[in-house]
Amino acid sequence: MTLALRGALWLVVYLAAVIAPLFFMIVGDPPPARGFWMELSAALGFVGLAMLGLQFVTTSRFGPISAPYGLDLVLKFHIQISYVAFAFLLIHPIILTVITPLGSALVELDPTAVEADGVTGVLALGFVFLIIVTSVWREKLGLHYELWRILHGLLGLAIIVMSVWHIYLANYYTDGPIRLAIWVAMSIVLIGMYANVRLIRPWQQLRRPWILEAVEPQPGDTWQLKLRADGHDGMQFEPGQFAWLTIDQSPYGIREHPFSFSSSAERGDLVSFGVKELGDFTSTIGEYEPGTRAYLDGPYGAFSYERNEAPGFVFVVGGIGITPVMSMLKTMADRGDQRPLKLIYANPSWDQVAFVDELEELGEQLDLEVVHVLEEPPEDWDDWGGETGMVTPEILERHLPAGEQRHEYFVCGPDPMMDAVEEALHDRGIPGDKVNLERFNFV
């Protein structure tokens, strides 16, 4: 089965799971209908809750689900669908407020008129609001990544517990052993998905440790970490994929971060990652000593040339976005792949260009042309042969290869650059399925 077909099937499964609660409402001996608006409110609440419950699935790093799309795309879907679920859940009490005595009780500020099922429902909705706020404005709120992860997980569990409790107290579509058993089973499955990330996968990582073999500085406040498998055969990955890395801590902790492989996929027992100093964790990455114990969870991602048959490849990257491309280039060199390659590599200045020496070596092994784009080229270089400024449509016009619509494109870097390049390629008539994007803003 092709990845595209598997992706389509998972989409059908997702839609079926979202509307499944509506079936549970009428299965067996359904209670009498209570009018259109009341039933619409209940249906929206159930669908919204199903969407929230499935959020545990989208973050469970379940390989069969993430493989067709890439984990990064799955997590982006996780973010966007949260807003849809919140809208459904918000409309649910709004309708009830209008058509039931609850509305007048709220207007008269009479808390005694609000029953327990209403309290649990309001708490669940409040937790959803908090989880969105703390995610969207994490940096503005000053929440460190690790603290946010703990809070995010606890709020997610609280939402499910309060929501199921709310449904149980309402006792309209959970009456009878069959319906109650279905809701309990669903809750167990969803919490099991959460346990997969927090309990099962860390246990698997403990059995396959890694040793930090080298920490090599690169230009542009970038480090290349080299890890060696300790007592096992390593990790098989596709060039361009990434893994979650934990260093000098138990995998049961929360300090794990996603980094792209920068090494060849031909060496699964000795892997490397490119890490740029950008945050609390990465700013201290150069302080780790060789011999430090590490753990990997992966591989993940769909940003790989192996998934695309093409006569040639074009890579447009900015800054640390070069890392997954280095993995692809090194793999192609090890495999003797001589298809034509074009790399357009943007950086603020020459002293920010990471992996420059390795790129020169790869240029001797591959049919590779590298075009450097610098915002500030060296003033003392009269023979600067690269491009100046940002990656623009004009620069792409000058350097895109002949037969460009048959090539496969890989774009990775800062969001503004990626947006501009994606638009420029679209304007040039490059088919959307030929353009592969890698973004790493998971929060």
pLDDT tier at 111 (50, 70, 90 boundaries)?
Answer: very low
pLDDT in tens, 133-176: 998 888 888 888 778 888 888 888 888 888 878 877 777 776 66
Model confidence band, residue 234 (pLDDT cutoffs 50, 70, 90)? very high
Q: Would you say residue 108 has pLDDT above 60?
A: no
Mean pLDDT of 246-263: 87
Position 228 scores a pLDDT of: 96
Best-predicted range by mean pLDDT among 7-16, 93-102, 192-201, 386-395? 386-395
Query: How far apart, in whole angstroms, are the C-alpha atoms of residue 257 and residue 245?
Result: 5
Task: Kindly list the domain boundaries of the chain, sorted by start residue.
Answer: 3-204, 210-300, 308-438
Task: Please tell me the predicted confidence (pLDDT) of residue 11.
Answer: 83
Of residues 293 and 171, more confidence is placed in: 293
Q: Does domain 210-300 have CATH number 2.40.30.10?
A: yes
Architecture of domain 308-438: 3-Layer(aba) Sandwich (3.40)
**Judging by DSSP bridges, how do beta strands 242-247 and 293-300 pair with one another?**
antiparallel
Cα–Cα distance, 41 to 106 (Å, whole number): 18
55-64, 220-229, 256-265, 295-304: which has the minimum mean pLDDT?
A: 55-64
The pLDDT mean for the chain works out to 83
> Can you give the pTM of this predicted structure?
0.77
Does residue 107 register a pLDDT over 50?
Answer: no
For residues 109-113, give the mean pLDDT: 46
Q: What is the pLDDT of residue 280?
A: 66
Q: Tell me what the mean pLDDT of segment 395-400 comes to.
A: 87
Q: What is the pLDDT of residue 110?
A: 46
